[in-house]
Amino acid sequence: MSDSPPGSIRPSLAWEVGTGALLLVTAGSGVLVVLSVALGLAVQDYLGSDADMSPLLTWLYENPDRAYGIDALGLLLTFASIVGFFVWRYRTRALLRRYGLDPVSLTRHPGVVTWGVATFMAYCCAGGLVEPGTYDSVDGMVDLLQIVVFSGVLRLVGLAGLMIAVWQIRRRVHLSLGAYFPPAFTPPSPYAATPYTALPPYTATPPYPATPPPPYAAVTTPPVTPPAPADGIPGIGDLPVADDDFWHRVRQAAADTELALLETSGPGLHRWVLIPAGRELDAVRASLAPGAAITVFTEPPVRRETNGYRPPEAAEYHGLLESAVTGALRHQSVGPRSLLSFLDRAETGGRWALYPVGDPNALAARLP
């Protein structure tokens, strides 16, 4: 089961398989540790008493090497979980870097620290287990079993911390990739800086021209023509120019609430810009591309539940999605077939809105 919303970016299948294998190895190591601790406690209870031991405990007492085989298998799985975790964390960070996410903070968890400290302490306490044959007496065997139980409990605590950490880091990766939006395309500005060209050297000219100009030459002024609208934007020629009166109406609409402005600078090139409430619009106007079509919707985007939401009737919508992680805005053209997928993504993100294409209540114009 994935935590990523439908239609969003998801980790690769190889990464998911590696995550599941690491969890299985860690769980298997924990099961063997629990078995080792349980057998150690049972043998310790029977040692020194007159009660008859069960056949299993008798076999373990008479064959201590076999008992240590169970513990050795647990140590092998613990070593496999150590190697597997560092390989898995390396691949996870490489996956996060690919999408520009912070790999360190998303893979940091206190459970990893707990696992490392508990595992180190367990192996320090189990240092006397390398020569089990020295414990020939009943009292020596009891001391040995106490060490086994104590180190097993430490290892169990560490493995539990590792499983919790891996599971929560996996969920962070799914949520971060699900909320990731690729950077929006920004059209090149026509006012881009041009390289400096040196002027030609000054050449002296005679004070009087060789041929004097005709007296009373007519001075003509070229006619001023408005700039042509951007190519390929349907209906932009019918829109009024965004003059001071238009921006005055926008300022009045945004007096008490933040509004969404949609900039259309070419075929399929849409960009959302938020108009702050009750502020001057100089910064917003400076960020818009000349010649683009702009539409200001009078309803602000909000964070709300998608269950039971009914959009206004329209053949197509302009969808606004805000990333819950970065706050970036994304435009999505929404039709009847893509409405459910849009609402699924909106449920896991920040603010969102659906605006009908051609909304009569919106303020539309074209930039000069």
Q: SS3 sequence, 53-121?
A: CCHHHHHHHHCHHHHHHHHHHHHHHHHHHHHHHHHHHHHHHHHHHHCCCCHHHHCCCHHHHHHHHHHHH
Residue 43: its pLDDT value, please?
Answer: 59
- Does 73 have pLDDT greater than 80? no
Residue 260: its pLDDT value, please?
Answer: 92
- Does 51 have pLDDT greater than 60? no
Mind listing the pLDDT tens digit for each residue in 318-340? 999 988 888 888 898 888 778 87
Residue 35: its pLDDT value, please?
Answer: 72
What is the spatial distance between Cα 95 and Cα 245, in angstroms, rounded to a whole number? 50
Tell me the two tokens of residue 330: 């994304």
Q: Which residue has the higher pLDDT, 298 or 37?
A: 298
Q: What percent of the chain has pLDDT over 70?
A: 67
Cβ atoms 81, 22 nearer than 8 A? yes
Average pLDDT over residues 104-132: 77
Task: Report if pTM > 0.85.
Answer: no
Q: Which residue has the higher pLDDT, 69 or 162?
A: 162
Average pLDDT over residues 143-149: 68
The length of the chain is 368
Cβ atoms 298, 251 nearer than 8 A? no
Cβ atoms 5, 348 nearer than 8 A? yes
Cβ atoms 355, 318 nearer than 8 A? yes
Residue 144: its pLDDT value, please?
Answer: 64
Average pLDDT over residues 67-71: 62
Mind listing the pLDDT tens digit for each residue in 158-190? 888 888 999 999 888 888 777 655 544 444 444
Residue 88: its pLDDT value, please?
Answer: 92
Place of tokens 């100089």: 282
Q: How high is the mean pLDDT of the chain?
A: 75
| Beta pairing partners, 355 | 318
